[in-house]
Amino acid sequence: MKAALSHKSNHKSNHKLQADKVILALDVDSFARAKYFVDKLCTRIKIFKVGLQIFTLCGPEIIKYIRKKKAEVFLDLKFYDIPNTVSNAVRQAVRLNVKMMTLHISGGREMLKRAQEAAKEEARFLKIERPLLIGVTVLTSQPSTAEEVLNLAKIGLDCGLDGVVCSAREVAFLKEKLDRKFIAITPGIRPPGSARDDQKRTMTAKEALAAGSDFIVVGRPILEAKDPVDAAERLIWDQVQNAVGTRSKMRLRSVPM
């Protein structure tokens, strides 16, 4: 009986662990629609991506709404401007208490370093945890080489960023080549056999997590589903759980006996 209870407890714990790896992209055209998905899914998905579309429409109100629902925010505005402008924008984002935010690594070393310093100073002043700063390498809608992504990732991490956004096809390569710990966030996730839409470099959730992605960003496969809750559950259980199992087996095989 105790063993059964323990197994059940671990099962729930694993479910939560894998749900925490999924970020839902709130790429919708109204505040009401955004709130609908947050309300529907906040007990299953704990991080929501606020991008250019919904932020331009709603501003900080959508971030406040997500936080009120006890979920986290991935602020994906891809800051790219002169260093002073970006550092001031980062300070404002820190005040919104987001979990992480993106910057274009192509903005240059000075921009990235100033952003990192601004985030650290503002978080210390507010006595809150500093948001994770995530560098954008190459958009998944654009063709790219692994070496190009690697070079950009190196620049970002050297400037104090916590991780990078990259295609799932580059994750394993980056994890192997970069001799440091970093967070890899992967957009362009599609279910097996689905259309790629405008994404050029896509993978399934299972493939991305098995390759080493720490978080996966999913939008249309859930937002356009007839039953968004069912689509989210299928993603978390069928693909994410299997991927973690695959990664564990790969690690076991690599351990010398």
Work out the average pLDDT over 102-121. Answer: 98
Per-position DSSP letters for 173-226, written without gaps between them: HHHHH--S--EEEE--B--TT---TT-SS-B-HHHHHHHT-SEEEE-HHHHTSS
CB 150 within 8 A of CB 126: no
- Is residue 141 within 8 A of residue 198, CB to CB? The reply is yes
CA distances from residue 27 to 11, 19, 204, 221, 252 in whole angstroms, order as listed: 31, 19, 19, 12, 39
Q: Which residues are catalytic?
A: 78
pTM score, whole prediction = 0.84
Ordered by where they begin, the domains of the chain are 21-251 (3.20.20.70)
Residue 242 to residue 124: CA distance in whole angstroms:
39
pLDDT in tens, 199-244: 445 578 888 888 889 999 999 989 999 999 998 888 877 666 665 5
- pLDDT tens digit string along 162-181? 999 988 788 889 999 998 89
Helices (H), the chain: 2-19, 31-41, 52-58, 60-68, 83-95, 109-126, 146-158, 168-177, 205-211, 220-223, 228-234, 242-254
The burial class, CB within 10 Å (0-12 / 13-18 / 19+), for 210 is buried
